[in-house]
Structure 1
Amino acid sequence: MCEEDSSPTAPHGYTPEKDAYLKRLRRIEGQVRGVARMVEQDTYCIDVLTQVAAINKALHSVSLQLVEDHVRHCVVGAATEAQTSGNPELLDAKLSEAMTAISRLVKS
Structure 2
Amino acid sequence: MEDIRPPDGAGNGEVPSADGPDHRRSHHPEKLKADLIARLNRIEGQIRGIKGMIEKDTYCDHVLNQISAVQSALNGVGKLLLAGHMRSCVVERIREGDLDVVDELLTTVNKLLK
Flag whether TM exceeds 0.5 (same fold). Answer: yes
Q: 5+ residue gaps in structure 2?
A: 1-20
What TM-score results when the alignment is normalised by the length of structure 2? 0.74
Asked whether 1:97 is paired with 2:114, we answer no
Shift of 1:6: 2.3
Match of 1:18 in 2: 33
| Count of matched residue positions in the alignment of Structure 1 and Structure 2 | 93
* C-alpha distance in 1 between matches for 2:75 and 2:56: 27
Q: 5+ residue gaps in structure 1?
A: 83-89
What TM-score results when the alignment is normalised by the length of structure 1? 0.78
Shift of 1:13: 4.8
* C-alpha distance in 1 between matches for 2:52 and 2:29: 33
Q: CA RMSD in A?
A: 1.6
Match of 2:12 in 1: none
Match of 2:85 in 1: 70
Shift of 1:67: 1.1
Shift of 1:15: 4.4
The answer to whether the Cα contact below 8 Å between 1:35 and 1:52 also exists between their aligned partners in 2 is yes
What are the superposed Cα offsets for residues 63-84 of structure 1, whole Å, 9 maximum, x if unpaired?
11111111111111122222xx
The answer to whether the Cα contact below 8 Å between 1:13 and 1:72 also exists between their aligned partners in 2 is no
**Between Structure 1 and Structure 2, which shows a larger proportion of helix residues?**
1
* C-alpha distance in 2 between matches for 1:19 and 1:5: 25
What SS is found at the alignment partner of 1:6? Answer: coil
What are the superposed Cα offsets for residues 29-88 of structure 1, whole Å, 9 maximum, x if unpaired?
000000010111111111100000000000011111111111111111122222xxxxxx
What SS is found at the alignment partner of 1:5? Answer: coil
The answer to whether the Cα contact below 8 Å between 1:75 and 1:94 also exists between their aligned partners in 2 is yes
